[in-house]
Amino acid sequence: MSFKVVRAGINVDIAPDLIANQLNVRNGALVLLVPANSLAAKAGLNPTTRGFAGNIVLGDIIVAVDNKPVKSKAELLKALDEYNVGDKVVLMVQRGSEKLELPVVLEEQSS
């Protein structure tokens, strides 16, 4: 009998720490891509984009999950491992100079 481990996640692409550091993100997990039909998109999570001049416009930076601080991609994944698919979590995100709370329902993480 084989079963696959189902991991709960937010199904967005998070920047590797190296890239995040190059973009001056020192604290939190930088959102790179948000699939259009994902629960994260419905929750309003913003991806990183390029501006008209080719400059990089940072997406949301996830700094906490249910008030537990996350400082990196690894910490975000570790935090989400505590939950199950279908659980609702509140992501604290840094968007520009403001901090927002976005409730997100976790979905099956495609690894």
Q: Which residue has tokens 């999950």? A: 65
Which candidate, 33, 31, 8, places its Cα nearest to that of 20?
31
Q: Quote the pLDDT of residue 19.
A: 93
Predicted TM-score of the model (pTM): 0.91
DSSP string, 62-103: EEEETTEE--SHHHHHHHHTTS-TT-EEEEEEEETTEEEEEE
DSSP bridge pairs for 74: none
- Cβ atoms of 20 and 70 within 8 Å: the answer is no
pLDDT band at 111 (very low <50, low <70, confident <90, very high): low
pLDDT tens, residue by residue, 10-61:
989 999 999 999 999 999 999 999 999 899 999 999 999 999 999 999 999 9
The CATH architecture to which 8-108 belongs is Roll (2.30)
Spans of all domains in the chain: 8-108
pLDDT band at 3 (very low <50, low <70, confident <90, very high): low
Tokens representing residue 81 in the block: 């491992």
User: How do residues 71-101 score in pLDDT, each as one tens digit?
Assistant: 999 999 999 999 999 999 999 999 999 999 9
Residue 110 has pLDDT above 80, yes or no: no
**Burial category of 16 from C-beta neighbours within 10 Å (exposed 0-12, middle 13-18, buried 19 and up):** middle
